[in-house]
Amino acid sequence: MKSTTGTMTELLRAALLAAPSLNAIQKATGVRRQTLASFMRGEQVSIHLASADALAAHFGIVCTMPATKRPKPKGS
């Protein structure tokens, strides 16, 4: 998959659309095919974080945080 940016939802949906088989993804990640298909079509707006983590690892999607100064928590 080419390097791109977007929300996790956008990246996962794009990867699922490009995947040859939802059955193979289910076998590789443990995420149910029905969940994958529903999420891919936008019928299900979210998935569990554990499922998103498994899919991201499978597709090689990496999350990064920008190296910007973060505000200190209140009381610090």
- Print burial letters for 19-31: b (CB count within 10 Å at least 16), e (below 16): beebeebbeebeb
- Asked whether residue 69 is assigned to any structural domain, the reply reads no
Burial class (CB in 10 A: 0-12, 13-18, 19+), 11: buried
pTM for this one? Answer: 0.80
pLDDT digits (tens, 9 = 90+) for 11-57: 999 999 999 999 999 999 999 999 999 999 999 999 999 999 999 99
Gyration radius of the chain's alpha carbons: 15
The span from the CA of 36 to the CA of 27, in Å, is 12
- Asked whether residue 36 is assigned to any structural domain, the reply reads yes
Domain that holds residue 39: 8-59
26 neighbors 33 (Cβ within 8 angstroms): yes
- Asked whether residue 46 is assigned to any structural domain, the reply reads yes
- Asked whether residue 72 is assigned to any structural domain, the reply reads no
- Asked whether residue 24 is assigned to any structural domain, the reply reads yes
